[in-house]
């Protein structure tokens, strides 16, 4: 059995059981375990619902096809290196990665070459030294600009439905400048709002320092200190975690005066049951991000079939009226 010291790798319950059996001498030999193809799934925020959803579907792919999945968290550059090294030591033949830092692209490619591992990126595309996307690495991510525009259109439509005067309405766009897909999403939302006729001068970008709810809360609170005249707010951000922070910061205005729309959909079930300013979210397709990417790497290893170089996924708007049905359709009702 491979290296048991690799504590941050969460093995499948079945394999964990096999290993436990081996430890008490009940017959889990190196050979039995060694026959299975092993694939890693590395994510930047292992505690987040989105990444847990990807893991869940990646695990489904592994269970259905008889390979072993190693789920790994890597929150910074040091951990990325450590975990890829560990995957190699444990016999993994490839991995899927959502990197904590896009600029680690060349380093990840180098490590994969060193260990002869096949890999692809998911969610956050790798960047080269020149700051351009590494299009030579297969990638699956969302159509970020388009989904951002959908957010902007939905915010505008809901504002009109509520007959809010544009004059005393403003937009708070929670931005995160260090991640390309985040920038695309919020700029897409802003672009759609302007196109629909919302005055650009009333659109404010609040800069998150980190990709967390807490950081979004702080950014929104800072913005509000100079905007006491605004009666109604339209709120958007890179994902549900960001919008959740904004919703909390704007809660003093009362839920009826704020329309917040997130992205992911996986983190809003708990919000949409409450009477708060969360109007809805753009529900992504975590199954494609988890199951399909893992299968692509598996087929690459087992059959030599290289993944498509660039796959983009879409989203649909979920809100209080349809979220149960839509989350169930995605297998994501908790």
The smaller minimum CB distance to ligand GLA, of residues 264 and 269, is found at 264
Q: How many residues bind ligand GLA (CB under 6 A)?
A: 12
Nearer residue to ligand GLA within complex by CB, 40 or 290: 290
Binding residue (CB under 6 A) for ligand GLA from 101, 124, 187, 292: 124
DSSP string spanning 13-42?
HHHHHHHHHHHTTSS--HHHHHTS-EEEEE
Please identify which residue in 123, 184, 187, 271 interacts with ligand GLA, judged by CB under 6 A.
123
H or E element, residue 213 = helix 213-224
Residue (156 or 176) nearer to ligand GLA, CB: 176
Q: Does 264 bind ligand GLA (CB under 6 A)?
A: yes
- Answer whether 37's CB lies under 8 Å from 301's CB: yes
Q: Does 141 bind ligand GLA (CB under 6 A)?
A: yes
Q: How far is the CB of 207 from ligand GLA (least distance, A)?
A: 16
3-state secondary structure 242-304: HHHHHHHHCHHHCHHHEEEEEEECCCCHHHHCCCCCEEEEEECCHHHHHHHHHHHHHHHHHHC
Report the alpha-carbon distance of residue 130 to residue 229 in Å, rounded.
Answer: 44
Minimum gap (Å) between residue 123 Cβ and ligand GLA = 4
**Closest CB 266 distance from ligand GLA, rounded Å:** 8
End-to-end distance of the chain based on CA atoms, in angstroms? 35
Q: Candidates 61, 69, 92, 98: give the one binding ligand GLA (CB under 6 A).
A: 98
239 binds ligand GLA (CB under 6 A): yes
User: Within positions 171 to 200, which residues make up the interface with ligand GLA, using CB under 6 A?
Assistant: 181
Per the CB < 8 A criterion, the answer to whether 283 and 265 are in contact is yes
- Of the pair 140, 277, the CB lying nearest ligand GLA is at 140
Q: Which two tokens stand for residue 202?
A: 């009333």
**C-alpha to C-alpha distance for 313 and 214, rounded to whole angstroms:** 28
Token pair, residue 22, equals: 């081996």
Binding residue (CB under 6 A) for ligand GLA from 41, 50, 57, 67: 50
Going residue by residue from 290 to 319, which x/- string records binding to ligand GLA, judged by CB under 6 A? ------------------------------
Q: Catalog residues that contact ligand GLA under the rule CB under 6 A.
A: 50, 98, 123-124, 141-142, 181, 211, 239, 263-264, 284
């Amino acid at each position: 059995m491979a290296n048991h010291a690799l504590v941050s790798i969460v093995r499948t319950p079945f394999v964990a059981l096999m290993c436990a059996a081996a430890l008490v001498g009940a017959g889990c030999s190196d050979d039995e375990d060694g026959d299975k193809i092993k694939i890693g799934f590395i994510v930047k925020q292992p505690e987040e619902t989105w990444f847990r959803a990807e893991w869940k579907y990646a695990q489904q792919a592994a269970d259905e096809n008889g390979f072993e999945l190693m789920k790994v968290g890597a929150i910074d550059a040091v951990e990325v290196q450590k975990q890829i090294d560990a995957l190699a030591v444990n016999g993994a033949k490839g991995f899927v990665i959502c990197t904590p830092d896009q600029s680690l692209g060349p380093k990840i490619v180098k490590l994969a070459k060193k260990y002869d591992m096949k890999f692809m990126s998911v969610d956050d595309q790798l960047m080269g030294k020149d700051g351009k996307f590494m299009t030579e690495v297969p990638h699956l991510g969302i159509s970020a600009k388009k989904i951002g525009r959908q957010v902007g259109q939905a915010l505008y439509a809901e504002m009109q439905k509520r007959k809010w005067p544009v004059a005393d309405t403003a937009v708070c766009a929670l931005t995160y400048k260090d991640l390309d897909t985040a920038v695309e999403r919020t700029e897409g939302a802003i672009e759609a709002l302007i196109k629909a006729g919302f005055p650009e001068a009333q659109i404010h970008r609040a800069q998150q320092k980190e990709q967390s709810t807490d950081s979004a809360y702080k950014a929104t609170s800072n913005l509000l200190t100079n905007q006491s005249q605004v009666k109604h707010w339209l709120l958007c951000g890179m994902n549900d975690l960001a919008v959740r922070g904004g919703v909390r910061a704007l809660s003093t205005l009362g839920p009826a005066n704020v329309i917040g729309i997130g992205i992911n959909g996986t983190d809003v079930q708990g919000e949409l049951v409450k009477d708060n300013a969360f109007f809805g979210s753009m529900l992504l397709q975590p199954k494609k991000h988890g199951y399909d990417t893992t299968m692509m790497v598996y087929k690459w290893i087992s059959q030599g079939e290289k993944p498509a170089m660039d796959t983009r996924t879409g989203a649909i708007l979920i809100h209080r009226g349809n979220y149960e049905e839509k989350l169930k359709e995605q297998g994501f009702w908790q």
